[in-house]
Amino acid sequence: MTSATTSSVIREVFGRLPGSAVVERVRLRTPDGFEARIITYGAALQALFVPDRHGEVGDVVLGHDDLASYAAARRFFGATVGRYANRIAGAGFTLDGERISLDANNGPNALHGGLQGFDRRLWTITAVDDGPAPAVTLAYRSLHGEEGYPGTLDVSATYRISAPRELSIEHTATTDRPTVVNLTNHSFFNLDGAASTSDILSHRLTVAADAFLATDETAIPLHELPRSVTGTPFDFREANEIGARIRQNDEQLRRGRGYDHNFCLSPDAGLRFAARIEAPRSGRVMELHTNQPGLQVYSGNYLDGSVPGKHGRLYRQSDALCLEPQAWPDTPNRSDFPSVLLQPGEVYRHHALYRFSAA
pLDDT (tens digit per residue) in 55-111:
999 999 999 999 999 999 999 999 999 999 999 999 999 999 999 999 999 999 999
This prediction's pTM: 0.97
Mean pLDDT of the chain: 96
Is position 161 within any domain?
A: yes
Q: What is the CATH number of the domain that holds 226?
A: 2.70.98.10
- Whether 127 shows a pLDDT value over 90: the answer reads yes
Find the domain containing 13 and state its range. 9-358
Total domain count, the chain: 1
Is position 258 within any domain?
A: yes
Is position 1 within any domain?
A: no
Is position 4 within any domain?
A: no
Give bridge partners of residue 84 from the DSSP assignment.
182
Is position 3 within any domain?
A: no
Is position 2 within any domain?
A: no
Is position 352 within any domain?
A: yes
Active site residues: 186, 324
Which of 232-241, 305-314, 327-336 has the least mean pLDDT?
305-314
Is position 78 within any domain?
A: yes
pLDDT digits (tens, 9 = 90+) for 264-278: 999 888 999 999 999
